[in-house]
Structure 1
Amino acid sequence: MKLQAVDISKTESAATIIFRALRKAIIKGELTDGTPLRQDEIAKAFHTSRFPVREAITRLEQQGLVTTQRYKGAVVATLSMQDAAEIFELRAKLEADLMRAAVARMTDDVISQAAAHLDAFSACGDPMQWGTLNRQFHGTLYSVSGMPYHIEVVETAMDRIDRYIRAQLVLSDGMSRSEGEHRAILKACQDSDADLAARLTAQHILAAKTSLEDQLRTQMP
């Protein structure tokens, strides 16, 4: 199993450290779809008991990154094309609403922060960071929407598909396309055009959905 193990036998936050290590390995694709997460093996790798391992796996299940299968136990979750499409379509609706609400409350400081995240996204050569920077860009704009429940649902949806978005960005022209779409969204925010910003946000998400579906389709027998 490809994990960056550390000795945490005396660490109180063992479950959190194991959770982050497993989540990173899943998102990077080091733990592929269907890989069993054997508690004894993970506990041994991290020099700890099974209790924090069990807690970490439960947290991963809550994020949709792990499922429990009969006879196999916990395994890395597999995302079907149907699941991916549903998640992207939900995001397109919710994030368009978030953007429309946010533009009316947008400040110069928020726009500057979002622009900084976008510049960092454009300059980053590490695929592991792309998802984080992408989420920081969108999250900064949504933060003033006044719709915390919408944001929470979107964050959960992003956790579910993060590793697939990264793969899509790597295997296609996703980075350059995404940057252009992000800059158009930011310009609409600067111009206080809420309807345009909302429409561009929905189009941006649905374009990523189409690209991801194409990638998943090529991987199927």
Structure 2
Amino acid sequence: MSERGLLIVLSGPSGVGKGTVRKALFESEGSSYEYSISMTTRQMRTGEVEGVDYFFRSKEEFEGLIDSGKMLEYAEYVNNYYGTPLDYVNQTLDEGKDVFLEIEVQGAMKVKEKMPDGVFIFLTPPDFTELKSRIVNRGTDDMSVIEERMKVARAEIEMMSHYDYAVVNDEVPLAVERIQKIIASEHCRVMRVIDTYEKMLKEF
């Protein structure tokens, strides 16, 4: 029987480069992570594929899953629900695959309530000056929005104590390497493999 996969949760403040690091991690040699497919109640767009881009469900179906505790986490945005279906995550983990979830801090705390044995990684900027520079260099927000983002970033960084690991994103390849080492070490934790060996001892 294969070892159950790891649920890896990556969070961090806006502008820290979560998406860039996650993409580089998935493109790295030997990567076999499964990216968690979200569920949504919004309409499918041209070119999107069910079970690839999203799991598309009606509002009634989604709310039924919420009521029955079948959503790992969810949020409502512009009158549509978005979230992570619990059954899909558990099924993928049971297949021995590592499931990667890139999510904001509040959503990550909801995930931790239901799956505390996940690996929670907080991606940090080298410092606040660098974080502000990255947000400014996007060129998409005016200064009032940037200042608000910095306030939110400060509040999110204060939540770091709820995570297992903090990884500095000073350079993307280095951040990827650090995360890979964390995942490798987590697979070696006794608590994750002891059941297999106890079964072996009983059969010996």
| Higher strand proportion | 2
| TM-score higher than 0.5 | no
| Higher helix proportion | 1
TM range (shorter): under 0.3
Per the normalisation by structure 2, the TM-score is 0.24
Which one has more relative contact order, counting CA pairs under 8 Å at least 6 apart? 2
